[in-house]
Structure 1
Amino acid sequence: MDPVEIMKKTTSLLVPTSTSTVPGATNFPTVLPDKPIYEHATASGTRTLWVVFVIMLISAAAFTAMSWRIPVSKRLYHILTTLITIIAAISYFGMATKHGVNYNHTRKTESHKHVPDTHQEIYREVYWARYVDWSLTTPLLLLDLCFLAGISGAHIFMAVLADLVMILTGLFAAYGGERSGQKWGWYTIACIAFLVIIWHLVVNGRITAQAKGSKVGKFFAAISLYTILIWTAYPIIWGVADGSRILSVNQEIMAYAILDVLAKPVFGFWLLFTHAKLPETGVELGGFWTHGLGSEGRLRVGDDDEGA
C-alpha cells in the first residue's frame, strides 16, 4: 500500500477527546494525570537488610564473647563496639520488617506548550531507622577513636556534638522538598559538621595519639584514616540516592549495607584484635565502673564524728 494512503488512514483514526460537552465550546485534548510513582525496596533490597541484621547480630555476640576474656576494668572498647553492633542490628530489623520506614512525597512539574502543566507525584521510601541508628552508633565510634588517641574531654564533646548535627541535618535533608532547595541546604550543613569531625580526629587525635607512643600513633593514624574514608562515602551515596535519586532504593540499601558492615563489625574486630596486642592502647577504669557501690562507694554515717 502507498505510504501516503497509510498516513491518511492513520491520521483519520487520531481523534482528540474533548474535555467539554457544551456545544460550541472549544475542544482541547484530554490530559490524563500520571499515576503516582512509588520508589520502594523489592525482594532483593529486603533480603539485603536481613543479611546485614544477621551480620550485626553475630558480630555483637562475638564482641561479647571477646569481652569475657578480660577484666571488667579493661572492657571499655568491647562494650562500645558491642553496643554499636546491637543498635545496628535493631535498626536493620526495623528496616527489614518495614517498621522503620515511611515515604517522602515530592511533586515534579512538567510544562507543555499546548496543554496544561502536568504533575508527577513521587513517593520514595525513607529509612528513618537508619538515621536513629547513626545518631547513636557514630558517637560511640567516635568515642572508640577518641579514647584510643587520648583526646581531651572538651574536644570529644565538640566532635560528638558535630556528629549529632551531621546526622540530624541529614535526616532533615532526606525529607526536604525538591523545589525549595531546603534539601541541599540541610545537606550542606551536614557536610560542614562532618569537616569539624575530621578536624578533631586528624589534628587533635593525631597529636595526642603520637604522644602515647609510635605504635599507638601508627595504629590510630591507620584506623582513623580508614574511618574517615568510609564515612566520606556516606554523603556521596546520599547525594546520588536520597539527594538526586539517581540510585534506586535497592541500590541505596546495598550501598549503605556495605558501608555499615565496614564501619561497624570490621572496624570493631580490627580495633579489638589490635587492642589485645598493644597494651599501650588500654583504658583501665576502676571505681564505680568496676566495683559498683561497694566499699569504695558506700556512704558511711558517723565518719566525721569519729574523726572529731
Structure 2
Amino acid sequence: MIHPTQVAEMLNSLPTLTSTASPGPVPTVIQYQVLGEAGHRTLWVTFALMVLSSGLFALLSWNVPIQKRIYHVITTLITIVAALSYFAMASGHAASYNCVTIWDHHTHVPDTSHEVCRQVYWGRYVDWSITTPLLLLDLCLLAGMDGAHTLMAIIADVIMVLSGLFAAFGTEGTAQRWGWYGIGCVSYLFVIWHLAIHGTQMVSTKGASVSRLFNGLAIFTLLLWTAYPIIWAVADGARKTSVDTEIIIYSVLDILAKPVFGLWLLLSHRALAETNIDLGGWWSQGIGSEGRIRIGEEE
C-alpha cells in the first residue's frame, strides 16, 4: 500500500505547467510565381534560334565588302546579345524575385495578408537596353537620319527600357511601379516621334524603294514594340498571367523583332544599292588612314 506522503512527493516531482506562454506569430503565407517546364524549354529554344540567326547573318556578310557591312554587323550583334541573354535566363541566372504584400479583405473577420513573390528576369532588360538601340540605329541609318535625332531616339529608348526594369521591381500599392511604367510609355512616344515622323521625312529623299522598305520595317517594329508594354502591364504589372505565359509571349516577340527583322533588312539591303551607307575611310580603314591613297580603290 502506497502511503499518502509518497503520492504527494511524486506529484511534486512532476514538471509544472503554466499558462503564461504567449502564442507565436502567425506564419506568413508566401505564394511563388516561377517558370515551369514550358517556360524553361521556350528559353532554350529561343537561345538556339538566336544562335542560328547570328550564324546566318554572319554568313550573309561573308562576300560583302567591309564598307557595306554596317547593317550586317549591327544585326548580327543584336542576335548575339539576345542569345547571351536567353542562355543566362535558361541556365538559371539573370533572374530575381519581387515580393509584394496582398491584403485580403473579409466581412466578419479581420483582414489578412499574404506575399506574392514573382520571378523577374532582369537579364531581359539588359538585353533590351543593348539590342533595341541597335535596332533603332539600323532604322535610322536606313532612313538617313541626322545624328541629333538618332541620338535622341536611342536615349529615349534606353530610358524606356530602364523604366520598365525599375517598374518590375517596384512596390505594390504605391505610385512607384506605375509611375515608372508611365515614364517608359512617354519615352516610347518620343521614340515614335523621332522614328516615324522625322525618319519618314528623311527617307523620302532616298527614293520610293528605300521608303517602302523603311516604312515596312518601321511599322513592323513599332507594332511589335507596342505589344511589349501591354504584356508587361498584364504580366509583371498586374500579375494576371503565369511566368510561363510571359516567357512564351516575350520570346515570340523577340524572335519577330530580331531574327525576322534582321533577315528582312539584310535580304532587302542586298537588292537595293540605294541603301548603302558611305561612312568614309573610318569604317574600313580607321581614323589614321583618312586621306591616305589606297591602290585599287575606285576613283
**What TM bracket, shorter-length normalisation?**
0.7 to 0.9
Work out whether 1:120 is the aligned partner of 2:114. Answer: yes
Do the aligned partners of residues 154 and 109 (structure 1) sit closer, same or farther apart at CA in structure 2, a change above 3 Å counting?
Answer: same
Work out whether 1:170 is the aligned partner of 2:164. Answer: yes
Secondary structure, aligned partner of 1:112: coil
Displacement after TM superposition at 1:49 (Å):
0.3
The residue aligned with 1:227 is: 221
- Structure 2 residue ranges without an equivalent (≥5): 1-18, 293-299
The residue aligned with 1:129 is: 123
Displacement after TM superposition at 1:293 (Å):
6.1
Q: Which runs of structure 2 are paired with 1:1-308 in the superposition (5 Å)?
A: 33=27, 35-292=29-286, 295-296=289-290
Give TM-score scaled by structure 1 length.
0.85
Deviations 1:240-273 (A, max 9, x none): 0001111100000000000000000000000000
* Number of residue pairs matched by the alignment: 275
Do the aligned partners of residues 293 and 152 (structure 1) sit closer, same or farther apart at CA in structure 2, a change above 3 Å counting?
Answer: closer
- Partners of 1:49 and 1:96 within 8 A in 2: yes
Task: In structure 1, give the amino acid aligned to 2:58.
Answer: T
CA distance in 2, matches of 1:57, 1:161: 28
- Partners of 2:34 and 2:118 within 8 A in 1: yes
Secondary structure, aligned partner of 1:151: coil
Secondary structure, aligned partner of 1:176: coil
Displacement after TM superposition at 1:286 (Å):
3.4
- Partners of 1:40 and 1:124 within 8 A in 2: yes
Secondary structure, aligned partner of 2:87: helix
Task: In structure 1, give the amino acid aligned to 2:34.
Answer: H
Deviates more, 1:92-101 or 1:258-267: 92-101
Q: Report the RMSD for the aligned CA atoms in angstroms.
A: 2.2
CA distance in 1, matches of 2:284, 2:212: 30
Secondary structure, aligned partner of 1:107: strand
- Partners of 2:67 and 2:283 within 8 A in 1: yes
- Structure 1 residue ranges without an equivalent (≥5): 1-20, 23-27, 299-308
CA distance in 2, matches of 1:75, 1:47: 34
Deviations 1:41-77 (A, max 9, x none): 0111011000000000000011111111100010000
Displacement after TM superposition at 1:114 (Å):
4.5
Task: In structure 2, give the amino acid aligned to 1:36.
Answer: I
CA distance in 2, matches of 1:91, 1:31: 42
Deviations 1:5-30 (A, max 9, x none): xxxxxxxxxxxxxxxx56xxxxx9x9
Displacement after TM superposition at 1:121 (Å):
1.0
Task: In structure 2, give the amino acid aligned to 1:236.
Answer: I
Give TM-score scaled by structure 2 length.
0.87
- Partners of 1:206 and 1:217 within 8 A in 2: yes
Q: Give aligned-pair identity as a percent.
A: 53
CA distance in 2, matches of 1:147, 1:141: 10
- Partners of 1:288 and 1:297 within 8 A in 2: no
